[in-house]
Every structure is written in C-alpha cells, then in structure tokens.
Chain A
Amino acid sequence: MTSENIDGGKALIRALEKEGVEVMFGLPGGAILPVYDPIIDSTIRHILVRHEQGAGHMAQGYAQATGKPGVAMVTSGPAATNIVTPLCDAYLDSTPLVVITGQVPLAAIGTDAFQECDTTGITMGVTKHNFLVKDAQDIPRIVKEAFHIATTGRPGPVLIDLPKDIVDPNNPRSELDWVDNPEMDLPGYKPEKKIDLSEIEKAIELIQVSERPVFYVGGGILKARAAEALRELVEITGIHVVTTLMARGAFPDSHELCLGMPGMHGNYTAVTSMQKADLLVALGARFDDRVTGKVDGFAPDAKIIHVDIDPAEIGKVRKPDVAINGDCRLVIEAMVDLLRQQDAIQIDRSEWKSTISGWQERFPLTYEDSEPGSRLKPQYVLEQLRDLTPEDTIVTSGVGQHQMWTSQYWNFDHPYTWINSGGLGTMGFSIPAAIGAKVGNPDRMVWAVDGDGCFQMTAQELVTATVENIPIKVALLNNSYLGMVRQWQDMFYDERFSEVFLSDDVPNYKTWAESMGCVGIRVDSPEEVPEAIAKANEIEDRSVVIDFRTAPEEHVYPMVPAGKDNSSIVVPPSQGSQER
C-alpha cells in the first residue's frame, strides 16, 4: 500500500482510473472545476456534451452496449437537476451508472448558496444509492463503493455529490492520504444470493408437466449476461420465448422458438401465448404493466416461476408458484444441469405448438403499402433499414411510435444491440444513447431511430458527435406529430387532436443536420429509401441524419388499450375478421 498526500480532485480522477474508467461524459462548472483540472493529465477520455441530460444518456448507452458502468460528471445546481432524468431512466432500466456532481463548499450547504441544490435529497428516489462526501479522505473508498453498488446485484445508478472545498487543492480540507486499496464499509449491502436448489427442482417439475409453457424473458437476462445460458435452456426444453422491450436480442429473433415482443404493442402471438399459457417462466422480468395489461386478467391459467436477482420484484405484481431469488445466469445454468441429469421431457406439446404457429400465420405484423405520392410507411423504412445494415448494428431509439415499430420490425439476433428507454420512456434518449454506444463500440455501426418530437429534445448532441468525432447515423421517422399521443387521441379521444401537431416544414432537418456538421438527407418517396440508407452506410467520417417523411395517420398495431386485459388486443384492421 502506497501512502501519498494528494488533493481530493486528483484522488477522484485517480480512483476512477483505478476502476478502469476509460471514458466519461460531462460538462464543467463552478463547483466541479477543481476536478476538471486533473482530467487534462488523465488517461480517461472526457466527452464534452451540450446538455447534462445528454451526458447521462450517453453514459447509459455506453453502459448498455458494453456492460461496463457508464460515468458522467457535471457541476452543481442546474447541472445536477439536468441529469436527474437520466438517473431515473437508469434506475428504472437497471443500468449501471456512476454520476459525479459538484456541490457548493461544505460550509455553504443549506444556505441557498449560488447553484446550490439538495442533490442527494432530489436524487434519493432515483438512484440505487447516493453519497454526499464530507471528508476528502473518504473519496477513494466512496468511489470504490459506488462502482461496487452500481455494478453488482441488480445494477443501477449511483451518485456521488462532491462539495467544492474537499476537491479544491487551494483548500486544506482537500488534503488526503491516498489509499490504493480502501476497504469498503457496506454492512447492509449483500448482493450475492444463495440459490435455493430445492426451488430449482420445483421449477423443473413444473416445467416438465406443463402443456403450454412460455419463457417470459426480461432485461435481467442481459444484465446477468445470461443470453448463452438461456439459449441452452430453451433448446433443451423446446419451450417458446418472448423477449420484452428490455430484452430484445437476449434470444435471437430468427430462432424458431422466438415469439418476439409481448405487451401493449407486442405481436399477437407473443401476447396471446402468454395469455393462454399454463406456465410462465419469468426470467429477469418484472411484470411491468405494459406487459401484463390489466393485472387481474393477465395469464389467468398460468402458474408462475419467477427468477430475479431482486427479492423485491418477486411477488410484487403477481404471486409466483415458485420463487427463485438469484442471478439469472447462475439459476439458468443450475436448471440446465438438472435437466441434463433427467430424461428428456416426455409431455406432448404438439397441439400447443400448432396453436402457436396458427396464430403466427393468421396474425403476423402487417401494414398496408403507401399510396403513390403519399408519405412513407414507417414500417417500410424500418424493414429497409433492417435489411440494409450489418447484422450486428446497434440500434437505439427514442420514445413513441417509432420506438415500438423498431422493436417490432427489427430482427434482433444478438444481445446488446437494442438500446432504448423502457421503464421511464424518456423522449430524446436515442441520439445521446447512440453516441455513448458508439464510443464503446467504435467499430460497429450505430443507428438511432428517432421521432421528430424526440429529435427536437436532444439533437444538439449531434454537435458533440461531430466535435468529438463519434459518427452515428440517425433515421428520423418524421411524421410531423407527437405520433404516439396522436394515436391515443385518434383511438380513445374521438379523433380530437389536442397539441400533437408539430409542423410539416419547420425545422428543416436537412439543413439543421448540416449546420451541426452532419450530412443531412431528406427522403420523400419509397424508391429513394434504399439509396439513402446505402449512402449513409458509406459515410464513416461524420454523422448522418436522414429525414424520412412518414405518414402521420399510421397506428402501431397490435395494441392492448391501457387498462384492458391482454385478451382485448386490437389487431390491425386488415386482420379484424380473422378467427382468433
């Protein structure tokens, strides 16, 4: 152990380096200034954002694409409040983040000092944990604890609030003895769970006798890096899989047992197979209301096996018949081991299989081609984009219709290729998340599928992308509307459109993109679509924005109306007369 006198600001950066941080996203200001000075000499790449919300979402995109914790650093007051949305987003989607905020000096805390806000108070409900550091000597330990908490158990965002005096080399309070390997002091944090093998045996028994089982796979599979283990389990059991919005890519869409996305805008087969199942094996999924619909009517005949690392999720929404608290990968591996020791599954599920393929034949995802001269169909654009980009392309999205269509129409065959804001539904997520994902995967192609409403919330980060040389591509599905809200007004508010029309002609996305250093392309007709995508794919030295002019009246189908149970699923008009 080395002993060395350094100041808090240097200690913070050194502690981040020790955690293996390679990149951080941020924007400086008064209270955090002393920590920005040692960045100049650090190995860590700092990416200067244009808005602190962008820093948070970039850190999320980076974390989701790489599996490493994302790091953001901003100043006090307005900067801290600007990053609250990404913290909440990361909290709901269990993304490991460490966010560092500046704070006014200790003596000024509580005095309504300039740019003071109660950051730890404000973020208490949207972080897995937060720290207000009061002694410079604690910095190395707290940084270590923050990374440990963010990345273990159920991952999540952790915030460190740093008063200026303890990081300012001109202030004697900032002096500390550097400790190379501080001991963590977390007596209440025990993320490792001991898996109860008898529960696994019970689960296997239920699986063996079930006639209509479905694996209900959630984002926890990706967090547990359990995609491979899952594939083994599925292949041994021959049971169908649905992948939730947070789990797209956790099991390959092209696999014959993959049914795709369930939920409010899930496909008919995924939704209905869950609804009619006699056994749901929930793996790292949390029975979100967007998946269950009306809880009372959800999968009424199904027994439930619920596997989750977080004991507070088990039984929160639906009481399980078998509860397994543990890491999904370890649990699945234990299940596979046990299944291997047993005889192959005897039960005849051929009828269930043919029921499922019947639904798939009668109720595929579908849309009508656009009339000549009218606006593009967003689904068509996405099919083209899917088919014309490399298989391992990373796709991010904003929130709205374009998000649901992307999740539906893309073919996700690899884990960690789909990054979106599932739990919080944060408009403006896609562009900064794509930048973060690209920073973590410079050799992969990254496409942000965005809506025109979303684009106008965070587009300025394309300036960051240009200046920092992080080329991404944006497919803007520009329907001139807050489309998802328009759809609800269309379906449930007598077509009375209130405050959803954005504009048909402003902003000019092509010139806006160009002014930010990107290539801007506008596409109006279907014939131009493949050509524009091919052109974008070829551009490697800067970002590209394609303004696809899409049809505002298009609805996302299927849809389970809010508050209804999943058997009330509304299919597209062309399938309305199909026998269910």
Chain B
Amino acid sequence: MKKTQANYTILVITVENKFGVLARVSGLFSRRGVNIKSLAVAPTDKAEFSRITVDLDIELESVSLDQIINQLDKLINVVEIRALDPAESIERELMIVTVEAEASQRDELVDHLDKVGGKVLNIGTESMMLSLVETSSVIDDFESFLSDYGIVELQRTGRVALDSL
C-alpha cells in the first residue's frame, strides 16, 4: 500500500451498491474522530457495485492509514480498497458556483474563467453561475479569486481520481 507524500490521502473503495453501506464505511471514520474532507459515491460500470472516493486530511489526523484500510476491508460489503498515490494518479473535482457580477464586471470574470477552462452555465441580472472541472488546488485558487466578487452559493464535489496511465 502506498503512502502519500502529499498532505492528503485518497482512498478508493469498491463496495456493494446497497443501502447502509455508506453508513458502515463512514462509521469507521467517525468512531476514530477522523473527519472526511470529501466523499464521492456513485455506481461503477457494474450496477451492483459503487465506487467511493474518500479524501482525508491525514496530516492532521494522526491515525494509521494501514489500520483504517485493513478495518474497512473487513466490512462485509467492501469488495476492494486501496490508497491512491497522488503522484501516480489523475484527480479532478467539479465546482459549480453562483457569483455576484454586475454587467460591468463580467468581461473580466469571463476572461479569467476562460483561462482556467471553466464554463458559464447561467446568467442572471446581478449574478452568474459558473462551473469548473480542475484539480482541487486550481479550484481553491479560483474560489479565492471569486470571493472578491461575492459568492452567493457554491458546491464542490470533492476529489475523484484514477490511476495515471
């Protein structure tokens, strides 16, 4: 099992796609007082399985990664589990966000959005809805840029990742 050098850890867990499984998985983190930074869950190409991507701030929590992995693996509904090495995986995150933007501010905003590869999803009289699919750190930067405009509502999905080729 690879330990990450980065200040985060991604666990990829294949589970049976059944009720209660997410509670079992997240329960193992909560009983240790470990906060899950983000969690993405959806069925895989096989409908009977789901893939859970857990992003942990393991630097902050002094817990043994191997132990968590071993104990998660003991859950009957967990089919496979491993840690992804950030250096050897490709990660993305999706953010959708509504920002305050008067007509006069929009050119500058869209200009910046183009540079990071985002999209305009919706335009209102005093605000715009944008989306961006990028690495979490690019999204962090873009989010702080937007905060000067005024963020009305925001949702990030958290990391999802696959092994790089």
Q: How far is the CB of B113 from chain A (nearest CB, A)?
A: 43
| Binary per-residue interface labels of chain A (313-355) against chain B in the complex, 1 for a CB within 8 Å, 0 otherwise | 0011000000000000000000000000000000000000000
| Binary per-residue interface labels of chain B (11-38) against chain A in the complex, 1 for a CB within 8 Å, 0 otherwise | 0000110011001100100010000000
CA distance A111 to B85 in the complex (A): 44
Q: Chain B contact residues: over half helix, strand or loop, or mixed?
A: mixed
Within 8 A of A (CB), among B113-163: none
Contact B67 A188 (CB under 8 A): no
Q: Does B78 contact A (CB under 8 A)?
A: yes
- Look across to chain B and name the residue whose beta carbon is closest to the beta carbon of A187: B79
Known: A189-B76, A310-B74. A120 touches B20 (CB 8 A): yes
Q: Which residues of A contact B24 (CB under 8 A)?
A: 124
Known: A312-B67, A312-B73, A316-B67. A187 touches B16 (CB 8 A): yes
Q: How far is the CB of B17 from chain A (nearest CB, A)?
A: 11
Q: Pick from B23, B66, B80: contact of A121, CB below 8 A.
A: B23
CA distance A302 to B138 in the complex (A): 49
- Look across to chain B and name the residue whose beta carbon is closest to the beta carbon of A132: B20
Q: How far is the CB of B31 from chain A (nearest CB, A)?
A: 6
Contact A312 B76 (CB under 8 A): no
Q: Does A128 contact B (CB under 8 A)?
A: yes
Q: Which residues of B contact A124 (CB under 8 A)?
A: 23-24, 27
Q: Does B77 contact A (CB under 8 A)?
A: yes
Contact A188 B79 (CB under 8 A): yes
CA distance A187 to B71 in the complex (A): 17
Q: Name the interface size band of chain A.
A: 10 to 19
Q: Residues of B within 8 Å of A, CB-based: how many?
A: 22
CA distance A122 to B6 in the complex (A): 36
CA distance A149 to B20 in the complex (A): 18
Within 8 A of A (CB), among B40-95: 48-49, 66-67, 70-71, 73-80
Q: Does A129 contact B (CB under 8 A)?
A: yes
Q: Which residues of A contact B66 (CB under 8 A)?
A: 315
Q: Does A186 contact B (CB under 8 A)?
A: yes
Q: How far is the CB of A280 from chain B (nearest CB, A)?
A: 20
Contact B70 A311 (CB under 8 A): yes
Q: Which residues of B contact A311 (CB under 8 A)?
A: 70, 73
Q: How far is the CB of B37 from chain A (nearest CB, A)?
A: 23
Within 8 A of B (CB), among A91-149: 120-121, 124-125, 128-129, 132, 149
CA distance A39 to B48 in the complex (A): 36
Q: List 24 A-B contacts (CB under 8 A).
A: A124-B24, A124-B27, A125-B27, A128-B76, A129-B75, A129-B76, A132-B19, A132-B20, A186-B76, A187-B16, A187-B48, A187-B49, A188-B75, A188-B76, A188-B77, A188-B78, A188-B79, A188-B80, A311-B70, A311-B73, A312-B67, A312-B70, A316-B67, A316-B70
